[in-house]
Amino acid sequence: MIFPGTFSALPSPVAFGDDTPLVVTANRSYAARDMPAFLAAAGLPPQAVWLYETRALPVALSLGPPLVPMTCINGGGVPTVEKLVYRGPGGLGAAPEVVYGDGDGVVNLASILALDTVMGGDPRQEHYRSIRIANMSHLGVVSDALALERLLGEIFYAATPAVDARAM
């Protein structure tokens, strides 16, 4: 059984553009826009591909700012999967060579930066802060003492009412 939420972790064309190869085989390269073809080539049933195309992909393509104050705290500086390269004759059935890039071990830097662009770059989003903690994993953001101190600081900062200098 395939759960549609499983597909939410797949790369979004918004983050990776149309031509960045994310999966490479001897016969074809797959970019974020090619995920339906990749899922089919990987052996997922047509219904699973349909779920991706009708549920997960529209959400990824229409992601917009929540229009409420928002602070994103992300880790970084941790090797994170960036690309899978299948060199052997087994194609997608073989073990891939994993190419790593920057990220938090789960979410790569391209996805983090895309969120900053989509959320922080929208003029309707009045308050957006993006904070990256160097050399911090995805789990570390909510479990490491240094990260928790930073997280609490951001919560207190967000909860502090702005002072209107005109009222003084």
Could you tell me if 145 and 100 lie in one domain? yes
Could you tell me if 44 and 76 lie in one domain? no
Range of the domain at 22: 13-63
pTM (two decimals): 0.80
* Among 74, 82, 76, 115, CA closest to 101: 82
Could you tell me if 76 and 148 lie in one domain? yes
Could you tell me if 73 and 41 lie in one domain? no
pLDDT of residue 162: 64
Rounded CA-CA distance 63/12 in Å is: 10
Domain presence at residue 138 = yes
Structural domains in the chain (count): 2
pLDDT of residue 118: 86
pLDDT(18) > 70: yes
- pLDDT per residue as tens digits for the range 102-161: 999 999 998 888 889 888 888 999 889 999 999 999 999 999 999 999 999 988 888 887
User: How far apart, in Å, are the Cα atoms of 123 and each of 28, 67, 71, 126, 140?
Assistant: 39, 10, 16, 7, 31
Strand partners, 103: 108
Could you tell me if 70 and 135 lie in one domain? yes
pLDDT of residue 34: 95
pLDDT band at 78 (very low <50, low <70, confident <90, very high): very high
Q: What does the pLDDT average to over 75-81?
A: 97
Within 8 A by CB and 6+ apart from 72, the residues are 112, 115, 116, 119, 128, 129, 130, 131
Could you tell me if 41 and 103 lie in one domain? no
Domain presence at residue 7 = no
